Amino acid sequence: MYSLLHCHFESALRALDLARPERVHHLRALYRTPGYLGSSPAERLTLLWRTVLSLTEDDEEIFAESTFHLVVQRLLAEMRASQVEHADLRIGPSTGRWRWMRSAADGIDIFRKELAGSHDLSIAFLAGINMTKPADELDALFDLLLTDGELTARLAGVDVNFLAADLPKFNRYLTALQALQTAGLKVNIHLGELFGNEISHHVLSQITPDRIGHGVLLLHDQYLVEMIKERDVCLDMCPTSNTLLGVTDWTHHSPASRALQLGIPVSINTDDPVLFRTDIDREIHRAGLTDGQRDMVVACAKRYRYGTS
Ligand SMILES: [Zn+2]
């Protein structure tokens, strides 16, 4: 049985895939366009998300409560079909287009309802903190995380992502992130993916994440390798995502195998399985591991996963 540690829920995209699957085909056609192929990894990701937003615009019907239930049921069915017994799932901490929700806690409660009675599955929720968003939205989000006990009681932690240009925002919210960590929430940070190691040096000099999303580029830096090893931070890697975004091509080498040889814990994951059309079996297959290493990543995922609250 598998544990998934790096999986974005992306409810809007999942709702689109359920209600308007033909539009998701359109999205995936982007991967082959010259505009996409000529862009940097960060630009590629931005392009993909702008397209998702444009494909869900002015279509409120998609975001009905009944659709949300179906989306959750489908996710649980996918977990069972892929033999995933546990997921640390990154969710949106605001209600977004799901206007009937009073807060993200309502969404989590639907998961709990659907999970009730399924003792074979568990999910821990991580609130996504997307620092590419404007400061006023982030201010509101941190306010929520620091004051809304009803929401944080349902969370295992937070998962932070940003681009190079957002480093000032990371600095601005560092104290708030440390406060969340001190209060018992886990803090995951995407590093070693969409920006260079000079930024990761800075981030890791300020805070020790409980786990790191991706981290593949960190392996090029001896100092960072030693630091991660010493602090026992698991790298949650995602082969198809890295390959499609142009971060690193896993068909030629395996960062997971390299990290394990260096003594760093690694888990293998799907990142955003709808966007990258993948599942855990495919990812483990693409990870280029020996049988022994495969057993190691499965065991790591079990060891480093978070408990449910
Ligand atoms: Zn991610």
Ligand 1 centre distance from Cα of residue 163 (Å): 12
Query: Which amino acid, one-letter code, is at 306?
Result: Y
pLDDT in the model for residue 308: 67
Cα distances (Å, whole numbers) of residue 6 to 32, 35, 69, 116, 162: 25, 28, 22, 23, 16
Please give the distance, rounded to the nearest whole angstrom, from the Cα atom of residue 280 to the centre of ligand 1. Answer: 14
Ligand 1 centroid – CA 211 distance (Å): 12
Give the pLDDT score at 2. Answer: 97
Contact yes or no for 193/6 (Cβ under 8 A):
no
* Contact of 210 with 202, CB cutoff 8 Å: no
Output the CA 132–ligand 1 centroid distance in Å.
14
Quote the ligand 1 centre to 147 CA distance (angstroms). Answer: 26
Instruction: Give me ligand 1 centre to Cα 114, in Å.
Output: 25
CA distances 307 to 154, 183, 288, Å, are 11, 16, 29
CA of 217 to the centre of ligand 1 (A): 14
Q: What's the rounded Cα separation, in Å, for the pair 104 and 143?
A: 14
Beta bridge partners of 86: 3, 122
Each domain of the chain, given as residue ranges in start order, spans 2-304
Taking the C-alpha atoms of residue 179 and residue 235, their distance in angstroms, rounded to an integer, is 23
- Residue 112 has a pLDDT of 95
Low-confidence ranges of the chain (pLDDT < 70): 308-309
CA of 271 to the centre of ligand 1 (A): 5
Question: Domain 2-304 in CATH: superfamily?
Answer: Metal-dependent hydrolases (3.20.20.140)
Q: How far is the CA of 7 from the centre of ligand 1 (A)?
A: 7
